[in-house]
Amino acid sequence: MEKKMERRIGEMKLGMTGYCIQPGVYRVISTSIVDADTSPVTIKKIKGKKMCDQGWECKGWSEYCCNLTISQYFDYYQFENVFSKRNSPVAQAAGFWDFKSFIIASAIYQPLGFGTTGNKTTQMKEIAAFLAHVGSGYGVATGGPTAWGLCYNREMSPEQDYCDESYKYTYPCAPGATYYGRGALPIYWVYLENLNFNYGYIGDCLHVDLLHHPEYIEQNATLAFQAAMFQWITPLKKGQPSAHDAMVGNWKPTKNDTLSKRTPGFGLTMNILYGDRVCGKGDIDDMSVIVTHYLYYLDLMGVGREEAGAHDVLTCAEQKVFNPPAPKDKKKASKSNNQENTGSTQPAMGTNSDIFIYNNDGVQRYILQNYIQEALPLEHFGNNWLTENSKQNSKCDILL
């Protein structure tokens, strides 16, 4: 194994294979992926709990590092088999995606449980599930629904650049930047139906300026995988689990979830990532394509599709979606009523639909839908920002 390097750098440079650890810190690794599964396991007890370190791939004294690392059960040849046509001459992203980028990107998330939670079968099912979303992310091309995984790294012929000035005080559209679906899990409407917001927020969490340079996602495969894994392991909206927790069994449904037919498993990951675009509509084609990828990858990885579970676990056909969006006209009416009730053009604080953040001059600066009102840390807005919810938790905390 070649020499490992660790150093602080202020920003990500596209020529490096880096991944986010904490603000201003990146671990840059130069290693041979062929030897990735040979790192010795170091074990120690911390507060009576067994913790492990497995070198660069699963580093940092984590209980998850006591399990198999991803490269110990999913290797280069399986990756090539799963995405066998990604480098064909007609593929848009030929030569872009590779196994090395995938493993290096995963190294920061493995100590957090990505692909390292539970027994080997649970681990392999999570990776198959993640890759199923990755492989089906840009739809179906000729050759069958499973033939073209990772043949794209961006949305082809976008209808527009999806610049939206609704959040111009937080993530305003950058001059010359275009916002549309890019990456392994395409950055579409992940948090809001506002792509410049999503690029800006994910970029902040990864410490890469994606707001001004969204094209970085289609220029660096490691960064593209990293952004996808961040979306996978992080709760995307308030009141719902991460796709990771739904897949590995960390999430336990409430009575309301049970009544809404939301069950832990692959089906719930579609509910989390896509909502009413594919879920709660029966066995529609858009949902079935994603499921087909998952079953196919389970077979290729040697797990077998029989491990996928029953129909209600495998699909979201009958599930009610998390946080269904309210009709826009109702939102506008609600805001209008709030203004009338307070006798001011300034929206009322403490409403159910929005969180309002004000500067010290009392001018409204930011409106954020309730389902992600706990997403951003106060530090994001500077020391002089005020909010009704002073104890917000950042979704970026998993990286700190």
Quick one: average pLDDT of 141-150?
67
For the cut 90, the answer to whether the pLDDT of residue 248 exceeds it is: yes
Question: Which of 289, 233, 243, 235 has the alpha carbon at shortest distance from 268?
Answer: 243
For the cut 90, the answer to whether the pLDDT of residue 344 exceeds it is: no
Quick one: average pLDDT of 336-362?
32
The pLDDT value recorded for residue 376 is 35
The pLDDT value recorded for residue 244 is 98
Confidence bin at 50 (pLDDT 50/70/90): very high
Paired sense of beta strands 364-369 and 386-387, if any: unpaired
The pLDDT value recorded for residue 325 is 62
Question: Which of 174, 170, 195 has the alpha carbon at shortest distance from 356?
Answer: 170
Question: Which of 49, 22, 54, 62 has the alpha carbon at shortest distance from 36?
Answer: 54
Quick one: average pLDDT of 327-347?
37
DSSP symbol at 39: P
Quick one: average pLDDT of 113-122?
97
For the chain, state the CA radius of gyration.
21
CB atoms under 10 Å from CB of 288, counted, come to 15
CA distance 209 to 187: 14
Q: pLDDT > 70: what percent of the chain?
A: 67
Buried b (16+ CB within 10 A) or exposed e, 13-25: eeeebbbbbeeeb
Axis-axis angle for helices 99-106, 221-233 (nearest 10)? 40
For the cut 80, the answer to whether the pLDDT of residue 224 exceeds it is: yes
When mean pLDDT is compared over 19-23, 292-296, 350-354, the highest value belongs to 292-296
Quick one: average pLDDT of 386-396?
35
For the cut 60, the answer to whether the pLDDT of residue 202 exceeds it is: yes
More confident residue, 385 or 307: 307
Q: Where are the domains of the chain?
A: 340-394
Quick one: average pLDDT of 287-297?
94
More confident residue, 304 or 333: 304
More confident residue, 382 or 39: 39
For the ranges 25-34, 98-107, 162-171, the lowest mean pLDDT is seen at 25-34
Confidence bin at 313 (pLDDT 50/70/90): very high
CA distance 183 to 72: 25
The pLDDT value recorded for residue 170 is 86
For the cut 60, the answer to whether the pLDDT of residue 174 exceeds it is: yes
Structure tokens at 371: 């389902």
Give pTM, 2 decimals.
0.74
The pLDDT value recorded for residue 233 is 95
Question: Which of 187, 321, 332, 168 has the alpha carbon at shortest distance from 256?
Answer: 321
Handedness of CA 200, 206, 208, 210 (dihedral sign): negative
Task: Look over the chain and give the mean of its residue pLDDT values, rounded to a whole number.
Answer: 75
For the cut 90, the answer to whether the pLDDT of residue 18 exceeds it is: no
Quick one: average pLDDT of 242-253?
96
Provide the β-strand partners of residue 364: 358
The pLDDT value recorded for residue 148 is 77
Confidence bin at 143 (pLDDT 50/70/90): low
CA distance 324 to 315: 18
For the cut 60, the answer to whether the pLDDT of residue 5 exceeds it is: no
Q: pLDDT > 90: what percent of the chain?
A: 52
